[in-house]
Amino acid sequence: MIWLIWFTLVFASVLSPLYVYPSGSAQPTDYVFLALVCLVYVHALATSRELPLAKIPIYWGLLAFWVFVHCLVSSLVLQSSDFYRTMAFWVYNTAVASCFLYLLGMGPKSKIYIEWGICLGLITSGVGVILSLGVEGRAVGFFNNPNQLAFFSLLGISSLLVLARMRLLVKPLIILAVLSGILGIFAAASLAAIAGFFLVVVGYLLANLQPKQLFRFSVILSLLFMTSLLVDDKAVTRISENIYSRSVVAEGKFDSIGEERNYDRILAFPEYTLVGAGEGHLDRFYPYDKNEIHSSLGNLLFAYGVPGIALFMALLYSVLRSSPPPIWFVVSGPIVYSLTHMGLRTTLFWIFLAIVWSEYGAKKSYA
């Protein structure tokens, strides 16, 4: 049965960059990850092991429980079904992350399959980027928009670094995956993801001041440079122009960030920040009712109030408190991205936190 679990995990990871349906809908990878959840929980029961959910950090469990109860109460009070989708996302992502914690707790061999899955997912994403470079301005790959591509690439690279305990081995699969991730970040021309990526690089350099590790980093840079020479000149020029044009208007975007990212909803309805307004039934906030708040932290504060944001910060602290400084930089990368984008529904974000917790926060107990 364990081989079926590994196959399902790798297959789901390979499908992760393939978006077939509109954003906000379940994608093919979600159904395969759901099958993985079923297999892992059956395995835990069949082998009399502790259920995966028990491995979730306490603040993580409390946050998921608070969101679940909040959505349930909001749907009853407002007589709206808008909140059920959010409830499903949180339950699903918590379940998937718990399975990764369960598998990582089974021994070093599990890391190999998780690493393979993430690498193959990044490479699949890289193929999509190459195919879409000449089609539109900002590349989207197999995703629905460039920001999804950038966040996935950033999380994939960060996850590989933590799994390798900040020492990337010069192996073809890993190098190709990292190069695919870097291509995805820059081809998407996401300034937030690029800023987060540089924080990740700082973390890597801090952890690898030894000559041997710096040599490996120089090898990766050399391969990246050689790869750029193989890419069509027009594509490289287009990527550079996209990044430049977005950096030029960055100051203007920052000035209008309240309106553009829907932060002004928080200022217009500050009373909701106490216990939260929930994610749904947006017509309550007219004329600030267009779309969600494009910020993970801002969304947590407005939708789930002080308890929601406090539990999330407590979760981050519990995950990082035993981690060395380089890991703080690596985790800061996706968090910086999340300041201007809503990334809490991205499953790989929670898988990434699970990997950090398993490697640096949890006590190992291989069975």
State residue 365's pLDDT score. 41
Distance CA 134, CA 240 (A): 14
Residue 236 lies in a domain: no
Task: Count up the domains in the chain and report the number.
Answer: 1
Residue 248 lies in a domain: no
Q: Would you say residue 231 has pLDDT above 60?
A: no
State residue 99's pLDDT score. 97
Q: Would you say residue 98 has pLDDT above 90?
A: yes
Locate 284 and state its tokens: 């309550």
Residue 214 lies in a domain: yes
Estimate to the nearest angstrom the gap between the alpha carbon of 69 and the chain centroid. 24
Distance CA 291, CA 289 (A): 6
State residue 147's pLDDT score. 93
Taking only the tens place, the pLDDT of each residue in 140-152 is 999 999 999 999 9
Average pLDDT over residues 111-139: 89
Residue 138 lies in a domain: yes
Residue 205 lies in a domain: yes
The kind and range of the H/E element at 281 are none
Q: Would you say residue 237 has pLDDT above 70?
A: no
Residue 250 lies in a domain: no
Query: Residue 195 — φ and ψ, nearest 5°?
Result: -60, -45
Distance CA 150, CA 322 (A): 28
Residue 253 lies in a domain: no
Average pLDDT over residues 49-66: 95
Q: Would you say residue 258 has pLDDT above 60?
A: no
Residue predicted with more confidence, 292 or 161: 161
Coil vs helix vs strand at 42: helix
Locate 311 and state its tokens: 């539990």
Q: Would you say residue 350 has pLDDT above 70?
A: yes
Taking only the tens place, the pLDDT of each residue in 296-328 is 999 999 999 999 999 999 999 999 998 999 999
Closest CA to 313 of 59, 35, 64: 59
Distance CA 86, CA 98 (A): 18
Residue 243 lies in a domain: no
Distance CA 13, CA 30 (A): 10
Query: Residue 247 — φ and ψ, nearest 5°?
Result: -70, -30
State residue 366's pLDDT score. 38
Q: Which span out of 64-78, 247-261, 273-287 was modeled with the highest average pLDDT?
A: 64-78
End-to-end CA distance of the chain: 16
Residue predicted with more confidence, 216 or 22: 22
**For all residues of the chain together, what is the average pLDDT?**
87
State residue 367's pLDDT score. 38
Locate 38 and state its tokens: 């079923």
Q: Would you say residue 29 has pLDDT above 90?
A: yes
Locate 207 and state its tokens: 């952890």
State residue 320's pLDDT score. 93
Q: Would you say residue 236 has pLDDT above 70?
A: no
- Of 3-12, 114-123, 258-267, 351-360, the poorest mean pLDDT is in 258-267
* Domain enclosing residue 109, as ranges: 1-231+262-361
Distance CA 54, CA 271 (A): 35
Task: Please say whether the beta carbons of 294 and 340 come within 8 A.
Answer: yes
